[in-house]
A and B are shown apart, each in its own frame.
Chain A
Amino acid sequence: MKRFLEGSQAVANSVALCKPGVIAAYPITPQTHIPEELSKLVAEGLLNSEFVNVESEHSAASVVLGSTACGVRSYTATSSQGLLLMGEVLFNIAGLRLPVVLTCANRAVSAPINIWNDQQDSISLRDSGWAQFYVENIQEAVDFHIIAYRLAEDRNIMLPVMVCMDGYILTHGVEVVDMPEQKDVDRFLPAYKPLYKLDIENPLTLGFLADTDYYMETRFAIQKTHQEILDLLPKITHDFRNVFGRDYGEGLIETYRTTDAERVIVAMGSVCGTIKEVVDQLRRKGKKVGLLKVITYRPFPIDKIYEALKNVPKVAVLDRALSLGADAPLYTEIRAIFFGKKRSPKLIRSFIAGLGGRDITLDSIKEIFKKLSLKTTEEEFIDLKPELLKDKV
């Protein structure tokens, strides 16, 4: 049913449709209305779930680690510093092969303190073993949580999934959402049946010491499973379309007017909507431009991106996060795809925009397309204020 909902409220209701048995959250900044709405649903008896208020994000992650290990579908949400505080536990959750689903409301990382949107938080956790989705709008945020549980709990996968949605722009934005029906979610997402679980009747241990003889194989196994996600996700999104009627292709990337494009921007998250607007505007003027949206960042869909970009002469990669001291994360990975390949863009250029909530406007995107026509190959920060930068003291 179509409703006019705030992103956080919509996601909370989507999570509720997935019926998690345990929800844990730390109820203070940085947090969203998602746990708040879920706690309300639990308190009102609309969701049969154990809601655990904890004393920190580290504990929130630890609670869902424990509850999932006991065989219960679990959920948590966080943001920014909170996600980083969870970091140690997040690696453990992946290593333990526990299918937790977490929402990251993407926000900048301190210092200086900044509560606004960028994607540095979840990008910093890209090596944790979690799958990561980046959504463009609230509808995708709603749908990809349901897809996330289905993927995470697949017995051939058994890995956690992080759904990343831009803070404020999507979490506090209100728009029209087609909320799934409970009967459809029940049809699409069967109850969680763990392969192994902590059970006092049948004692076992999880995550015990793996010494030099064993550890490396556990990491190799996660790496292999990420490859399997690339094959499985298209089947899941196909099923999703059959049940809910919404088509996310293979769930890995989305191409927008790239077929004959001479200049393409690669990006993730809500900014893709703004880029689509600019693409349409420039297309009306006869400019051959397009967008490649990366939905699944982990696993990184190398082959799909290669196919989509191999004939595009000029590619801009828009990062909303940095790897300080090196090239930007998404840019580095896009470039790496084409090393040693026969076909490749002539130019792949790195653009950084929207850090700490700096607004990305239509003009910001036009600027990127314009700068892609220049000869230079240097990294460029869009909408930077040089007047705020001083020479060394």
Chain B
Amino acid sequence: MKEIRIHARAGQGAITTATILGYAYFLKGFYPYAFPHFGAARMGAPMNAFLRVDTKPIRLRSQIYEPDYVLIVDPTLLRGFNCLVGLKDDGIAIINEGEGIDKSKLNFKRKLYFVPAAKIALETIGKPLANTALLGAFIAVSRDLDIEVLIKSLEIRFKGEILEKNILSAKKGFEFVKERF
């Protein structure tokens, strides 16, 4: 079983992100379970979305405390929260690189991938919606899935121009990791 925890703010599309990634795993024959946990029920409040993936149906219904992967959509959350808490020793964090992150405070043995996802999103989508770029980066890092299956999953969720922009964003996130790491 693999466990992925996404840190974002309500309204930033973390549930959609977990669902898109879950769908990609589903297309590969896995049994994903994507679910949210809201803090205060309003836009901008810190929240988590989770994704559990296994080769058989998921029964465990608790939140994820010891993730294999952490995806941080909103880097400003790093100021107030330890988003990496519980991340497995061999776990991986993929972080939307933003201003004001003190990387020296994050220096421990776990692998951290900083991806300029918001910048990619601004170039491709025109809005700082970092999600699909982070998903592209996740595909490159995890090697569980290929970029084609992520694109298929995006096609379920989006249509037309928005789809094309998100595919481009995902590809750029994917390529960034492939080139840099």
Q: Which A residues are closer than 8 A to B by beta carbons?
A: 4, 6, 29, 115, 137, 166, 168-169, 172-176, 270-271, 273-274, 276-277, 359-362, 364
Contact = CB atoms under 8 A, between A and B. Distances in A.
A79 to B, nearest CB: 13
Contact of A274 (B15, B34, B59): B59
Contacts of B34: 173-175
A137 B33 CA distance: 11
A277 B62 CA distance: 11
Nearest to B60: A277
B61 interface: yes
Could you tell me the dominant secondary structure of chain A's interface residues?
A: mixed
Contacts of B65: 361
A4 B61 contact: no
Contacts of A115: 38, 41
Contacts of B22: 4, 174
Interface string B19-50: 10011001000011111111001000000000
Nearest to B156: A4
Residue in A4, A166, A176, A361 whose Cβ sees the most chain B Cβ within 10 Å: A4
B12 to A, nearest CB: 16
Contacts of B23: 4
A169 B31 contact: no
Contacts of B106: none
A360 B61 contact: yes
Contact of B33 (A166, A173, A360): A173
Interface residues of B, number: 23
Contacts of B57: 137, 175-176
Interface in B78-115: none
Given A359-B62, A361-B65, A176 B32 contact: yes
B162 interface: no
Given A172-B15, A174-B19, A176-B26, A4 B60 contact: no
Residue in B36, B61, B65 whose Cβ sees the most chain A Cβ within 10 Å: B61
B58 interface: yes
Contacts of A274: 59-62
Given A4-B22, A115-B41, A359-B63, A172 B58 contact: no
Contacts of B33: 173-175
A273 B61 CA distance: 7
A169 B60 CA distance: 10
Given A173-B34, A362-B60, 14 more contacts: A29-B41, A115-B41, A137-B59, A168-B35, A169-B35, A172-B35, A172-B36, A173-B33, A173-B35, A175-B31, A175-B57, A276-B59, A362-B62, A364-B62
A4 B51 CA distance: 13
B7 to A, nearest CB: 16
Nearest to A114: B41
Interface string B113-157: 000000000000000000000000000000000000000000000
Nearest to A361: B62
A137 B22 CA distance: 17
Nearest to A270: B61
Contacts of A360: 61-62
B61 A169 contact: yes
B15 A271 contact: no
Give 6 nearest A-B pairs by CB, closest first. A273-B59, A4-B26, A173-B35, A174-B34, A361-B62, A175-B33
A370 B132 CA distance: 44
B37 A168 contact: yes
Nearest to B50: A173
Nearest to B35: A173
Contact of B60 (A166, A172, A176, A273): A273
A175 B61 CA distance: 12
A173 B49 CA distance: 10
Nearest to A269: B61
B178 to A, nearest CB: 27
Nearest to A116: B38
Contacts of A362: 60, 62
Contacts of B19: 4, 6, 174
A273 B59 CA distance: 4
A271 B61 CA distance: 7
Contacts of B37: 168
Residue in B18, B31, B62, B63 whose Cβ sees the most chain A Cβ within 10 Å: B62
